[in-house]
Structure 1
Amino acid sequence: MKILVLGAGAVGTAAAYYLARDGHEVTIIERHAGPADGTSFANGGLVSPGDATAWASPEALKTFIHGIFNHDLGIKVRLGRDPYLFLWGLRFLFQCTPARKRANTVPKLRLALYSRDCINELSEETGLAYDDRRKGILYLYRSQQSLDAAVKNYRFLAEHGLPIEIVDAKRAAQIDPGLAAAWQHFAGAVYSPIDQTGDSRLFATRLAEFSSKNLGAKFRFNTMVEGLEIEGDKIRAVRTDAGVFSADAVVLAMGPESGVFGRRYGLDLPICPVKGYAATLPLEEESLGPTMGGADEDRYIAYSRLGDRLRLSSTAEFTGFDRSFGPENFAAMFRTAHELFPGAFDQSKAQLWAGLRPMMPRSVPVIGQARYSNLYLNTGHGHLGWTLAAGSGRLLADLVAGRSPEIDTADLLYRNW
Structure 2
Amino acid sequence: MKVIVLGAGVVGVATAYHLAQAGCEVVVIDRQAAAASETSYGNAGLVTPGDSFAWASPAALKTFMSSLFNPDLGIKVKLRWDPRLFAWTLRFLTECTQQKSQSNTLKKLRLAVYAREQMQQIAEHTQIDFNRTQQGVLYFYRSEQTLAHGVEHMQFMADQGLPIKVLDRQQIVALDPGFTGSADKIAGGILCTIDQTGDSCRFSRELAAWSEANQGVQFNWQTTIQSFETQNDKVTAVITDQGRFSADAFIMTAGCDSPLLLETIGVKLPLYPVKGYSITAPILDPEQAPTIGGVDDDRLIAYSRLGDRLRVACTAEFAGYDRSHKPSDFRALLATIRELFPQGADYDKAEYWAGLRPMMPSSVPVLGRTQRFSNLLLNTGHGHVGWTMSCGSGKVVTDLLLQRKPEIDTNGLIFQG
Question: TM-score, structure 1 length as denominator?
Answer: 0.98
Match of 1:411 in 2: 412
Give the secondary-structure state (helix, strand or coil) at the position aligned to 2:121. Answer: helix
**Stretches of 4+ moved more than 6 A in 1?**
none
CA distances 1:307-362 after superposition (whole Å, capped 9, x unpaired) = 01100000000000001111111111111111111211221110110000000000
Give the secondary-structure state (helix, strand or coil) at the position aligned to 1:268. Answer: coil
Tell me the distance in 2 between the aligned counterparts of 1:44 and 1:408.
Answer: 28
Of 385-394 and 54-63, deviating more is 54-63
Tell me the distance in 1 between the aligned counterparts of 2:345 and 2:215.
Answer: 40
Q: Aligned runs of 1:269-284 on 2, under 5 Å? A: 269-284=269-284
Q: Aligned runs of 1:283-298 on 2, under 5 Å? A: 283-298=283-298
Give the secondary-structure state (helix, strand or coil) at the position aligned to 1:298. Answer: coil
Tell me, yes or no, if structure 1 residue 402 matches structure 2 residue 417: no
The CA deviation at 1:36 is 0.2
Tell me the distance in 2 between the aligned counterparts of 1:97 and 1:189.
Answer: 27
Tell me the distance in 1 between the aligned counterparts of 2:309 and 2:105.
Answer: 31
Tell me, yes or no, if structure 1 residue 58 matches structure 2 residue 58: yes
The CA deviation at 1:235 is 0.5
Tell me the distance in 2 between the aligned counterparts of 1:232 and 1:265.
Answer: 12
Match of 1:392 in 2: 393
CA distances 1:176-211 after superposition (whole Å, capped 9, x unpaired) = 121111222112111101100000000000000011
Of 60-69 and 6-15, deviating more is 60-69
Tell me, yes or no, if structure 1 residue 45 matches structure 2 residue 25: no
Tell me the distance in 1 between the aligned counterparts of 2:161 and 2:409.
Answer: 14
Give the secondary-structure state (helix, strand or coil) at the position aligned to 2:375. Answer: strand
Match of 2:306 in 1: 306
Tell me the distance in 1 between the aligned counterparts of 2:283 and 2:118.
Answer: 30
Q: Which runs of 5+ in 2 are unaligned?
A: none
The CA deviation at 1:81 is 4.3
The CA deviation at 1:69 is 4.3
CA contact (8 A) 2:281 2:351 kept: yes
The CA deviation at 1:159 is 1.5
Tell me the distance in 2 between the aligned counterparts of 1:170 and 1:94.
Answer: 42
CA contact (8 A) 2:72 2:332 kept: no
Q: Aligned runs of 1:16-415 on 2, under 5 Å? A: 16-371=16-371, 372-415=373-416
Give the count of matched residue pairs. 416
Q: Structure 1 pair 260/70, CA: closer, same or farther in 2 (3 Å)?
A: farther
Give the secondary-structure state (helix, strand or coil) at the position aligned to 1:277. Answer: strand
Give the secondary-structure state (helix, strand or coil) at the position aligned to 2:20. Answer: helix
The alignment's C-alpha RMSD in Å is 1.1
Tell me the distance in 2 between the aligned counterparts of 1:111 and 1:173.
Answer: 32
Tell me the distance in 2 between the aligned counterparts of 1:74 and 1:94.
Answer: 22
Of 254-263 and 193-202, deviating more is 254-263
Tell me the distance in 1 between the aligned counterparts of 2:144 and 2:216.
Answer: 54
The CA deviation at 1:60 is 1.7
CA contact (8 A) 1:79 1:86 kept: no
Tell me the distance in 1 between the aligned counterparts of 2:175 and 2:194.
Answer: 13
Amino acid at match of 2:123: S
CA distances 1:128-177 after superposition (whole Å, capped 9, x unpaired) = 11000001000011122222222222111112231111121221222212
Tell me the distance in 1 between the aligned counterparts of 2:363 and 2:259.
Answer: 14
The CA deviation at 1:272 is 0.8
- Share of identical aligned residues, percent? 50
CA contact (8 A) 2:358 2:380 kept: yes
CA contact (8 A) 2:52 2:109 kept: yes
CA distances 1:340-389 after superposition (whole Å, capped 9, x unpaired) = 11211221110110000000000010011112110000000000000000
Amino acid at match of 2:395: R
Tell me the distance in 1 between the aligned counterparts of 2:260 and 2:246.
Answer: 22
Give the secondary-structure state (helix, strand or coil) at the position aligned to 1:302. Answer: strand
CA contact (8 A) 1:234 1:375 kept: yes
Give the secondary-structure state (helix, strand or coil) at the position aligned to 1:311. Answer: strand
